[in-house]
Amino acid sequence: MSVQNVSQRGVKDLKGVGTALALKLQKLGITQLQDLFFHLPARYQDRTRLSAIAGLMPSIEAVIEAEVQLCDIQMGRRRSLLCRVHDGTGALTLRFFHFNAAQKNQLTKGVRVRCFGEVRPGPGGLEMVHPEYRVLRAGQDEPLEQSLTPIYPLTEGITQSRLRGLIQQALQLLGSQPLEELLPQTELNHRAYPALTDALHFLHQPPVNADQQALLSGTHPAQRRLAFEELLAHNLALRLARTNIQKVGAPALKATGRISRPFLAQLPFQLTDAQLRVAREVARDMNRPVPMLRLVQGDVGSGKTMIAVLAALQSVENGRQAAVMAPTEILAEQHYLNFKSWLEPLGVEVSWLAGKVKGKARVTVLEQIKQGSGQVVVGTHALFQDEVQFKDLAMVVIDEQHRFGVDQRLSLREKGRQDGMIPHQLIMTATPIPRTLAMSAYADLDCSIIDELPPGRTPVMTLAVDDTRRPQIVQRVRQNCQQGKQAYWVCTLIEESEALECQAAETTAIELAQALPDLRIGLVHGRLKPQEKAEIMARFKAHELDLLVATTVIEVGVDVPNASLMIIENPDRLGLSQLHQLRGRVGRGSQESFCVLMYHAPLSRNGRERISVMRETTDGFRIAERDLELRGPGEVLGTRQTGMMQFRIADLQRDADLMEMVHSCASGISTESARALALGRRWISDAEQYAQV
Ligand code: ADP
Ligand code: MG
Report which of residues 299 and 616 the model is more confident about: 616
Q: Is any ligand 1 atom within 6 A of the Cβ of residue 430?
A: yes
Distance 303 CA to ligand 1 centre (A): 4
Q: What is the pLDDT of residue 301?
A: 82
Which of 174-183, 378-387, 430-439 has the highest average model confidence (pLDDT)?
378-387
Q: Residues for the chain: how many in total?
A: 693
Q: Is any ligand 1 atom within 6 A of the Cβ of residue 454?
A: yes
Question: Which pLDDT tens digit goes with each residue over 549-570?
Answer: 998 777 555 778 899 999 999 9
The pLDDT of 452-481, averaged and rounded, is 92
The pLDDT of 474-484, averaged and rounded, is 96
Q: What is the pLDDT of residue 1?
A: 43
Sign of the Cα torsion 631, 636, 640, 643 reads negative
| For ligand 1, atom 4: residue with the closest CA | 304
Q: What is the pLDDT of residue 688?
A: 40
How far apart (Å, rounded) are the C-alpha atoms in residues 207 and 230?
24
How far apart (Å, rounded) are the C-alpha atoms in residues 552 and 540?
16
DSSP state of 571: G
Which ligand 1 atom is the nearest neighbour of the CA of 271?
23
Question: Which pLDDT tens digit goes with each residue over 514-552?
Answer: 999 999 999 998 788 877 887 898 899 999 999 999 987
> Given phi > 0 = left and psi -120 to 50 = alpha, else beta, which region is 249?
left
Q: What is the pLDDT of residue 241?
A: 76
Q: Is any ligand 1 atom within 6 A of the Cβ of residue 464?
A: no
pLDDT band at 10 (very low <50, low <70, confident <90, very high): confident
CA distances to 37, 151, 262, 629 from 227, rounded to whole Å, are 14, 19, 52, 19
Which ligand 1 atom is the nearest neighbour of the CA of 450?
2
Q: What is the pLDDT of residue 3?
A: 46
Distance 299 CA to ligand 1 centre (A): 11
What are the start-end ranges of the E strands in 194-306?
293-298
Q: According to DSSP H, which parts of 62-184 are helical?
A: 101-106, 160-174
| For ligand 1, atom 11: residue with the closest CA | 301
Q: Is any ligand 1 atom within 6 A of the Cβ of residue 97?
A: no
User: ∠ at Cα 664 (659, 665), nearest 5°?
Assistant: 95
Question: Which pLDDT tens digit goes with each residue over 429-445?
Answer: 876 666 666 666 566 67
Contact 65, 89 (CB under 8 A): no
Amino acid sitting at position 569: E
> In whole angstroms, what separates CA 207 from the centre of its chain?
35
pLDDT band at 412 (very low <50, low <70, confident <90, very high): low
Question: Which pLDDT tens digit goes with each residue over 270-307?
Answer: 999 999 999 999 999 999 999 998 989 888 788 999 99
How far apart (Å, rounded) are the C-alpha atoms in residues 123 and 512?
53
Q: What is the pLDDT of residue 642?
A: 36
DSSP state of 176: T
Distance 427 CA to ligand 2 centre (A): 11
Q: Is any ligand 1 atom within 6 A of the Cβ of residue 587?
A: no
How high does pLDDT run on average in the chain? 86
How far apart (Å, rounded) are the C-alpha atoms in residues 19 and 25?
10
CA distances to 326, 552, 631, 638 from 575, rounded to whole Å, are 22, 12, 8, 11
Number of Cβ within a 10 Å radius of residue 217 = 11
In this model, does residue 684 exceed pLDDT 70?
yes
Number of Cβ within a 10 Å radius of residue 347 = 10
Half-sphere exposure of residue 566, counting CA atoms within 13 Å on the CB side?
Answer: 30
Q: Is any ligand 1 atom within 6 A of the Cβ of residue 481?
A: no
Which ligand 1 atom is the nearest neighbour of the CA of 275?
23
How far apart (Å, rounded) are the C-alpha atoms in residues 365 and 377?
9
Distance 121 CA to ligand 2 centre (A): 56
Report which of residues 333 and 277 the model is more confident about: 277
Q: Residue 683: which residues within 8 A CB-CB, separation 6 or more?
A: 229, 230, 233, 234, 648
Question: Which pLDDT tens digit goes with each residue over 21-72?
Answer: 999 998 888 888 888 999 999 889 889 999 999 999 998 899 999 999 999 9
Mutate to test the pocket of ligand 1, among 306, 330, 400, 558 (most ligand atoms within 8 A of CB): 306
| For ligand 1, atom 19: residue with the closest CA | 303
pLDDT band at 483 (very low <50, low <70, confident <90, very high): very high
CA distances to 79, 104, 105, 107, 156 from 100, rounded to whole Å, are 12, 7, 9, 11, 26
Q: Which ligand is nearest to the CA of 338?
A: 1
Distance 305 CA to ligand 1 centre (A): 7
Question: Which pLDDT tens digit goes with each residue over 247-270?
Answer: 888 999 999 999 999 999 999 999
| For ligand 1, atom 20: residue with the closest CA | 303
Question: Which pLDDT tens digit goes with each residue over 190-233?
Answer: 889 999 999 999 999 999 889 988 998 889 999 999 999 999 99
Q: Is any ligand 1 atom within 6 A of the Cβ of residue 275?
A: yes
Determine which of 104-113, 184-193, 273-282, 488-497 has the lowest per-residue pLDDT on average.
Answer: 488-497
3-state secondary structure of 26: helix
Q: Is any ligand 1 atom within 6 A of the Cβ of residue 334?
A: no
The pLDDT of 376-403, averaged and rounded, is 87
How far apart (Å, rounded) are the C-alpha atoms in residues 635 and 646?
12
DSSP letters spanning 350-397:
EEEE-TT--HHHHHHHHHHHHHT---EEEESGGGGSTT---SSEEEEE
Q: Is any ligand 1 atom within 6 A of the Cβ of residue 429?
A: no
| For ligand 1, atom 14: residue with the closest CA | 559
Which ligand 1 atom is the nearest neighbour of the CA of 308?
6
Amino acid sitting at position 424: H
Q: What is the pLDDT of residue 634?
A: 52
Distance 428 CA to ligand 2 centre (A): 8
Distance 481 CA to ligand 1 centre (A): 24
Which candidate, 514, 458, 518, 522, places its Cα nearest to that of 488? 522
Half-sphere exposure of residue 547, counting CA atoms within 13 Å on the CB side?
Answer: 29
Q: What percent of the chain has pLDDT over 70?
A: 90
Q: What percent of the chain has pLDDT over 90?
A: 49
Parallel, antiparallel, or unpaired for β 293-298 and 424-429?
parallel
In this model, does residue 579 exceed pLDDT 70?
yes
pLDDT band at 641 (very low <50, low <70, confident <90, very high): very low
How far apart (Å, rounded) are the C-alpha atoms in residues 619 and 293?
26
